[in-house]
Structure 1
Amino acid sequence: MLVYFLLPLTVVYFLFLSRATILKSGDYRKKEIFIEKNNFMFGFWFLVLLSLAVCKGINVGTDYRMYYNFFLHQSYDGVELGISTIYDISVKYHNFFLFALCIYFIFLFFIFWGIKKNSPNYLISILVFILTHVYFTGYNQLRQIIAVAIIFAFVSYLVSDKKFDKFKYIIVILVALLFHNSAIFLFCLFLIPKKRFAGKVVIPLFILTIILYFVPEFKNKIGEIIVKFSGFYMEKYETNLDYFFEVNKEKGLLQLVPVVIQMIIVTISLYFPKIKTSLTFNSNLYKFSSNVIIINLILYSLAGIEAIDRLQVYFSCFNIYFYSFLIHLLLNSKDKKNSKVFIVFIAAFWVLYYTLRLITNVHGIVPYSLLNNQLI
């Protein structure tokens, strides 16, 4: 497990080594604090995360061995075109390592593309990427995580004020569908408003979410509704609808506590700090990410319905944008004392969350082992 603790600690170490850059505009009263954007460091962490993912053993991750067996028995017929093409290449060269390299390169390329294009700083975004376990989700859900990364990288098209950019985002979704059919659900992102949800709406919804979390009958009813609109998913899971559309796993109070803390963080962010339009960052994307995270937390009342869980994988990725923007606002807030307290609270929570998920081994990634001989 040591490697998993060294990973975020090293990012934090480099974060402290980075200089705080203060940019001044033509107006001498306007200053903006950045954590230095270092392209060398950006590339370094891309290679570190790529190496860890590609070089892990087949037992690191609950689903990874399944993908290896698909390769061994060439039983990947019926999977999406993008994935089957990568399989074809690896089978041609009798090398599963090549399959893993292609998968994780594409995944990390688009995640890092989105960070470089949209995030106010690199290291904080990479740290959030690791601490929120979005990175480790890729140790299992190899197909979907590529679709997630593609959606994440080009979400700026969706929040753009240019009408043609909406059409571009439809193309992005169609490309994501080449890697996982669940991307079809992402047309719902067009329904999410650009304006941030108001606290007077969010707080009651969060309270309702907590109540409904303990009402499994509600989850099953929602599952039945999803069946009616599922299309290809209904056909895919027709032999076991209970698995995908109804509650297949119950989560207890321990799993709810981190969600409640995230609700508190998001609620505070609606009031503090205020969004500064003068800052050099995509305020539309920050507002949109806030709304996506709010919806993601509300959907937790339906936790256990596989179809909802699939959708949440896409939504969880927006934590990278949300917290990167939020911390940038806090760094540039005039209320330095409360900003520091809030940053410490956010950091402490995610470090604890990261540690507890490793201890409980949710992803089946502990202990980490290097690649097996049979992978090559």
Structure 2
Amino acid sequence: MSVAILGSLIRTALPGVGRWCLGYALLAAASTWVVVSGPRAGGITIVGASIATLSAVVLLVQGTRQFFGERAVWVAESAALVAICAAIVYFTWVSPNVDARGVLMSLGLIYGRLAVGTLALRHASRDGTRYACWLIAVAAGTGALVYVARIGAIVFGAAPSLSFVQPSPWNVALLGLAILTSPCVAIGMVMLAHDRLLGRMEKLATIDELTGALTRRAFIARAQVLLSQAREKGDPLSIAILDIDNFKAINDGFGHAVGDRILTHVASVVAGQLRSCDLFGRLGGEEFAILFAYAQKHDAATLTNTLRLAVERSSAEGVRCTLSAGVGKFVPADTLESAMVRADAALYVAKAAGRNRVIMTSDAEEGEARYLAESR
């Protein structure tokens, strides 16, 4: 079940999912091998299934590290895996000892579960993943306690030496607890993967992939919220509409690939100059919008002019480009659309006046907008 569910997520190319799937596939293969071999499993089955199980544990730990953006492979961990596997070979063929094998396997399983659980807890504070991380941590911790109890039973002689599938109460209890905890860990991993996919989808819906600015829809939605808040509190709010000058000539002269990189460069320069409270969005093509929070029109114009100068002084692909902008403020009862229309009109005035400049909307236009809103 775990292999089938995790396998369906491989095509998403999420970090770590491939190792998770391979780890559970090895566990399934080892379990099937043991069951098919029956109670009289020979040395090859014991060693093969043990190595497959321990390798699966390491893969699950590595996959969890990789999922959370950490280095997947640890040299010490790999060396410990080789040492334990060599010891299992020794206690199977050279000096047969069922109890020693049981302790070694339990130690490997305890390490794997604690490592996965600790990684999950360390990243449980991330938004949207807390529940999944705690599910993994609790299930993995419970499984680790089971194997701690198994070691205690072996060391203190509380349970007899048992073969892999001997139908004893001890083996039934271990198997039952494994059935409860292992799938819970897998389910938690699937939940983490789905949370990560949801984050990707949300980012695609709100962030323009080329420029890193908000998409038009996301910008308008967030701007509406800021406008409502500004009205309630009486805070000033201004907007600027920006356009890269002669961008069509850049595309025609240097190609669309260069044009895309220039868009990315300009957006990066602009975003780097903005305050954390401002909104920056791409309206389409080479046109952008900025919502300046807590800013009067003249303040917004000054900030926009600073952006214009920063773009003018920078270059990308050996090409220097400039910006034109129109800036306006929100008047009482103004809508986002009406304010954007006025700022857009000021942008066209800036282009008609020779480009590479910032033009503010006139006080008369804003007074007319206020009058029309109040007369409705």
Task: Mark the structure with the bigger radius of gyration.
Answer: 2
Greater strand proportion: 2
Higher relative contact order (CA 8 A, sep 6+): 1
Question: Is TM (by shorter chain) over 0.5?
Answer: no
Interval of TM-score (by shorter of Structure 1 and Structure 2): under 0.3
